[in-house]
Amino acid sequence: MGVIPALAIFIANAGAQWTVALPYDTAQATSALGAERVGPMGTALERVKKKLEAILSGSTGNVVIDVKWEDPAGASSAADSTSYQFYFQTVAVARDKIRNQAEADSEPASEIQLYEALPASSVPFYWDTGTLRQAGYIALPSALNQHLQFQAHGGGSDARIRVRPPSATQKWQFWLVKPKQGYEVFDLVVLHEAIHTLGFHSRGEATELPTALLTWDLLRVPESAVPVSAASFPTIARELRPSVEASWITKLGTVSGAYKASRGERAGGDGFQASHWRSSTRLSPPNPIGVMDPTLVSADLYEANGNFLLSRADVEALDLIGWNVNPSAHVYSNGNPVNLLSPTPGQKIPANAQITFQWQSSPNPVNGWLLFIDEAEAPYDDMPVRAFDGLTSASYVLSAAQSLPPGEYKWEVTAQHELGNQHSADGTFTILCPADFNGDGFVNGNDYDLFVDAFDVGDPSADFDHDGFVNGNDYDLFVEHFDVGC
Ligand SMILES: [Zn+2]
């Protein structure tokens, strides 16, 4: 592409103009997931879109990331991604553009200082051996390229995420309930891959000697070099060797201004690839750095990050890669715990009655509550008996017409806040068999006697068809169900 002069005139953005699209092919998704799971999958992608737009709320661009239900390259990978890259003619052009955009975005002085200390002509780096190399170019993913206003979106997609179709060993959880054992949290895996395509990516994994570095690599130095001074920063060789520990610089002149980066191991994809934080299993004590941690399964990451999908490190990384982030985008779920009120634990509910679900949580979540109802004993299969998403009040009435078959159930509620989520514990309730009049779990002579007693005195409990009257219809209907049993 053409190169725009580095010192153009910059106009601060009047407001966020950042949009993300995560399109998928419905036929392909249907064939991979079955028709009934496509809707929940699409809703999950909508959440990821909103999350990305919230993180990069000060940025500009219309980014399109295709989501494909296709096997990723790595045999053990759940997902992978690729993005289009733009190469800039010189290091100085890219550096100045990033620096000037940061100024236009009113980024902190420490960040601008860091960009100003980047090399002007070429970037020294080590890749696979101790041979000192020089990169004369900077590569930017298509999405970041737009934010830096090198080039507007030209149509088509900027990147692609491939997600492994479900199988006995690869299960996806599309509902934003508490993580379920054996399932990967789809939201989190897609977010992880999407962040790779936004520039959280390293040339340390290139299979051929790189000629250009990514902005992430510009900040990647040997661990032994930390803290890094402004004077030494341009000349320190960027560390992309698989054999040398690397740190990722967020500030100059301080040891705390660095995160541990994974080494650039390439062959075989051992989960330690350079495009990630250092794996938590290599830290003592193990403590995940963020969504870009390479080893933890997604449910563990989600819980470790406080039911939120990102850490402060992830957000800082996106910021320093060149985006304009919402600095509070990593904050712990911004709500209080969700307490279930009714039905009360184990409550027995007559068949065909309406059920009022009630819970208490504050503040009201901007993305609503999810009410999720499933059979008590059934293993999780991502197919709830009933689910209601985006509820705007802390209660839901399941009408008699929507009644559940007799059996034991569990239910849970998720409050979906702007930045994170809060999950309730599991509640339980039982829907009685229609003729189980005393609610003891059996249909026998006791039920018959009690019903007749109630019927004889016209007690409302004998209004079996719930029409407001106790009459022969109730008696006939009761006997019908009594004969069927439970
Ligand atoms: Zn990754």
Check whether 6 has a pLDDT greater than 50: no
Looking at the domain assignment, is residue 243 inside a domain?
yes
Per-residue model confidence (pLDDT) at position 229: 94
- Where does a domain end: 321, 351, 366? 321
Q: Measure 81 CA to ligand 1 centroid, in angstroms.
A: 8
The reply to whether 118 and 87 lie within a common domain is yes
Which of 296, 289, 280 shows the shortest CA–CA distance to 311?
Answer: 289
pLDDT at 152: 67
Claim to verify: residue 265 and residue 398 sit in the same structural domain: no
What is the CA(393)–ligand 1 centre distance, in A?
Answer: 37
Ligand 1: centre distance to CA 270 (Å): 11
Select the more confidently predicted residue: 7 or 261: 261
Q: Which of 305-309, 312-316, 325-329 has the highest mean pLDDT?
A: 312-316
- Find the 387 Cα to ligand 1 centroid distance in Å: 31
Percent of the chain with pLDDT over 70: 95
Question: What's the CA-to-centroid distance between 284 and ligand 1, angstroms?
Answer: 21
Q: How many angstroms separate the first and last alpha carbons of the chain?
A: 73
Please give the sequence-ordered ranges of beta strands (E in DSSP) within 253-362, or none if there are none.
258-261, 339-342, 347-349, 355-360
Distance CA 305, CA 325 (A): 18
What's 365's domain CATH number?
Answer: 2.60.40.10
Q: Is residue 327 part of a domain?
A: no
Ligand 1 mean position to 403 CA, how many Å? Answer: 44
Helix H or strand E segment including 456: helix 445-456
Q: What is the pLDDT of residues 62-100, one digit of tens each?
A: 899 999 999 999 888 899 999 998 888 889 999 999 999
Q: Same domain for 74 and 155?
A: yes
**Ligand 1 midpoint to CA 469 (Å):** 64
* pLDDT (mean) for 400-409: 91
Say yes or no: 415 and 461 in one domain.
no
Are 65 and 96 found together in one domain?
yes
* Residues 270-290 pLDDT 10s: 457 889 988 887 777 777 888
Task: Report the separation in Å between the CA atom of 204 and the middle of ligand 1, taken as the mean of its atom positions.
Answer: 13
Whether the per-residue pLDDT at 268 is higher than 50: the answer is: no
The DSSP result for 61-99, as a single string, is EEEEEEEE-S--SSTT-SEEEEE-EEEES-HHHHHHHHH
Tell whether 75 and 140 lie within a shared domain.
yes
Q: How far is the CA of 276 from the centre of ligand 1 (A)?
A: 6
- Whole-angstrom distance, CA of residue 49 vs CA of residue 33: 21
Quote the ligand 1 centre to 274 CA distance (angstroms).
9
170 CA distance to ligand 1 middle (Å): 17
Calculate the average pLDDT of the chain.
89
Phi, psi of 52 (to 5 degrees): -65, -40
| Residue 135 lies inside a defined structural domain of this protein | yes
With CA atoms as reference, report the closest residue to 14 among 106, 150, 99: 106
Task: Tell me the pairing of strands 407-416 and 427-431.
Answer: antiparallel
Measured between alpha carbons, how far is 158 from 143 in angstroms, rounded to an integer? 6
Which pLDDT value is given to residue 437? 85
Cα–ligand 1 centroid distance for 111 (angstroms): 25
Q: How far is the centre of ligand 1, averaged over its atoms, from the C-alpha of 75 (Å)?
A: 14
> Which stretch of 95-104, 287-296, 445-454 has the lowest confidence by average pLDDT?
287-296
- The pLDDT, as a whole number, for residue 16 is 53
Please check the confidence at residue 14 and state whether its pLDDT lies above 50.
no
Q: What is the pLDDT of residues 103-126, one digit of tens each?
A: 999 999 999 999 999 998 999 999
Lowest-pLDDT choice from 106-110, 228-232, 462-466: 462-466
Structure tokens at 229: 């001074």
194 CA distance to ligand 1 centroid (A)?
A: 9
d(CA 425, CA 345): 11
**pLDDT the model gives residue 12:** 35
In a domain, 234, yes or no: yes
Question: What is the distance in A from the centroid of ligand 1 to the CA of 201?
Answer: 9
Report CA(80)–ligand 1 centroid distance (Å): 7
In angstroms, what is the span from residue 311 Cα to ligand 1's centroid? 15
Ligand 1 centroid, distance to 141 Cα (angstroms):
15
Q: Is the residue at 332 inside a domain?
A: no
141: which 2 tokens?
């993913």
Centre of ligand 1 from the C-alpha of residue 247, in Å: 17
pTM over the 0.85 mark: yes
Domain match, 364 and 466 both: no
Model confidence at 253, pLDDT cuts 50, 70, 90, reads very high
| Ligand 1 centroid – CA 160 distance (Å) | 13
Residue 10: the pLDDT is 32
Q: How many domains would you assign to the chain?
A: 3
pLDDT band, very low/low/confident/very high, at 267 (cuts 50, 70, 90): low
- Are 390 and 284 in a shared domain? no
Q: Which tens digit of pLDDT belongs to each residue from 429-444?
A: 999 998 888 888 888 9
Distance CA(41)–CA(449), nearest Å, equals 50
- How many A from CA of 456 to the centre of ligand 1? 70
Residue 440 is assigned to a structural domain of this protein: no
With tokens 């092919």, the residue in question is 25
On whether residue 370 sits in a domain, the answer given is yes
CB distance 90 to 139 below 8 Å: no
Q: Are residues 372 and 454 in the same domain?
A: no
Rounded distance from Cα 309 to ligand 1 centre (Å): 14
pLDDT of residue 202: 92
Does residue 407 lie within any of the structural domains? yes
Quote the domain boundaries for residue 410. 339-431
The predicted-structure confidence for 156-214, as pLDDT tens digits, reads as follows 899 999 999 999 999 999 999 999 999 999 999 999 999 999 999 999 988 899 999 99
Give yes or no: residues 293 and 358 share one domain. no
Task: Give distance in angstroms: CA of 335 to centre of ligand 1.
Answer: 29
Identify whether residues 377 and 311 lie together within a single domain.
no
- Same structural domain for residues 450 and 422? no
Tokens standing for 87? Answer: 């190469």
339-391: pLDDT as tens digits: 999 999 999 998 888 999 999 999 999 889 999 999 999 899 999 999 999 99
220 contact partners, CB below 8 Å, separation of at least 6: 202, 204, 238, 239, 240, 246, 247, 248, 249, 261, 274
Which of 321, 355, 385 corresponds to the end of one domain?
Answer: 321
